[in-house]
Amino acid sequence: MSRRPAVALLIETSNAYARGLLRGIIEFQRERDAWSVYLPEQERGALPPQWLRRWRGDGLIARIENDAIARAVQGTGLPVVDVSAARKIEGIPWVETDDRKVAELAAQHLLDRGFTQLAYCGEPQFNWSRWRGEAFRQFVASKQAKFWAYPDPPSQKSRSWLQEKTRLATWLTKLPRPIGIMASYDIQARRILDLCRELQIAVPEEMAVVGVDNDSLVCNLSSPSLSSVIPDAVQAGYRAAQLLDDMLRGAAIPGQPLLLPPLGVATRQSTDVLAVDDPWIAQVAKWIREHACEGIQVEDVARHFSVSRRVLERRFKLATARTPHAAILSQKLERVASLLRDSSSSIEQIASRCGFEHPEYLQVAFRKHFGTTPGLYRRTKGRSMSGRAGIDPP
């Protein structure tokens, strides 16, 4: 093209995932300076904007979430990349989160905390919610854990929040405890936390809750603060822009959807617990999580809890199937991973902040734990993610 292509973005700005998509598109645009970009105001699930019929641009990146938008986008005859899970138009490039891996990561996060009873709470009208629920169920079954699912509503008719609240509260009260719950997204998870507070269900001791999207406002305004799976929305936006640019240049586009794995779990208070039969060991594990990066040793843990190292190690391993030393090291390495992803600090600085006296030992331990070097991990996983506490790596 002799002129700069004009590209419109039909992506709302009202939720964290969509804003992540836009950040990824901005990253691509900053690198390539390839397009003239039009970003109108757009609500999620809104009807097609009137201007779209008259628009004479060159391409679209769109969240195609209803039939009306799908018809309008097809009516333009323009190259388009879809960044919605609704999958309303077959045969066009599609970039989305890998919902199976999202669910598996959430399940493993809860299993790692000792929960053997897990539940999923979704919204069946959305593809991504159904896909996550089925993947969660299958993964839990593969680990020989027990599974419960929030039942679908008796009809698809619009229901008031008061009706849904009553139904959800009834389900929560009937669940066995302790139990770990995955909500299909952060807003649903926050509803569960609000109901737990009303029903006087202790979170995370009786119910641990993890959401999806890592929306910092929702997660940090929740009480307690909400743990959440972090989708790689920025990379999804970047790759969608890359695909559209290839289309505008006449390049061949792969026919398979591009599904991106999540970046990890932002661990906050809603899952900050170890579900074990020994309450004392749960307190020990919590203390280790809070102090691991201060350079503590097993002797420090034993001294704090006024027991011998032998007694500590025996009871800890019996309850958690790993040693206190392994728990300390794992927590330190999780913190290293989060700093590699979210900061520009050097390896030496990260080692110091995470309680490693020698950066060389950090390098060796990190490679053994993650199967890659810290430098390569940063290059492949590094992404600016706001509003999170500790992060469980994928």
pLDDT at 387: 36
Which letter does DSSP use for residue 19 in this model? H
Using the predicted structure, report yes or no on whether residue 391 has a pLDDT greater than 90.
no
Of 42-56, 117-131, 203-217, 253-267, where does mean pLDDT reach its minimum? 42-56
Neighbours of 253 (CB within 10 A): 13
pLDDT digits (tens, 9 = 90+) for 276-303: 778 888 889 889 988 999 999 999 999 9
The model's confidence at residue 229, banded by pLDDT at 50, 70 and 90, is very high
Q: Which pLDDT score, from 0 to 100, does residue 201 have?
A: 92
pLDDT at 388 over 70: no
Q: How far apart are CA 323 and CA 77, in angstroms?
A: 61
> What average pLDDT does the structure give for the chain?
90
The pLDDT tens digits for 78-125 are 999 999 999 999 889 999 999 999 999 999 999 988 899 999 999 999
Secondary structure of residue 59 in the 3-state scheme: strand
Encode pLDDT of 128-167 as tens digits. 999 999 999 999 999 999 999 999 988 766 678 788 999 9
One-letter amino acid of 391: I
So where are the chain's domains?
6-96+233-260, 99-232+265-271, 279-386
Q: According to the model, what pLDDT value does residue 46 have?
A: 76
Does residue 386 surpass a pLDDT of 80? no
- The predicted pLDDT at position 138 comes to 98
- Select from 3.40.50.2300, 3.40.50.620, 3.20.20.140, 3.40.430.10 the CATH code of 99-232+265-271: 3.40.50.2300
For the domain spanning 279-386, the CATH number is 1.10.10.60
Q: Is the pLDDT of residue 389 over 70?
A: no
pLDDT digits (tens, 9 = 90+) for 47-83: 788 889 889 899 999 999 999 999 999 999 999 999 9
Quote the distance between the C-alpha of residue 268 and its chain's center. Answer: 12
Both structure tokens of 217: 């406002």
- Give the pLDDT band (50/70/90) at residue 393: very low
- 360: tokens are 């060389």
For residue 334, the model assigns a pLDDT of 83
Same fold, 6-96+233-260 and 279-386: no
Q: Is the pLDDT of residue 26 over 90?
A: yes
| pLDDT of 249 over the 70 cut | yes
Q: What pLDDT digit, counting tens, does each position of 325-377 carry?
A: 999 998 899 889 888 887 889 999 999 999 999 999 999 999 998 889 999 88
- CATH superfamily, domain 6-96+233-260, is Response regulator (3.40.50.2300)
pLDDT of residue 95: 97
pLDDT value, residue 256: 85
Residues contacting 146, CB < 8 A, separation 6+ = 116, 117, 118, 140, 176
> Phi/psi at 288 (nearest 5 deg)?
-65, -45
Per DSSP bridges, beta strands 179-183 and 207-212 are parallel
Share of the chain above pLDDT 90, in %: 69
Nearest to 98 by CA among 188, 232, 226, 210: 232
With the C-alpha atoms ordered 186, 192, 194, 197, is the resulting torsion angle positive or negative? negative
Q: What is the rounded distance in angstroms from the CA atom of residue 68 to the CA atom of residue 74?
A: 10
Q: Does 160 or 219 have the greater pLDDT score?
A: 219
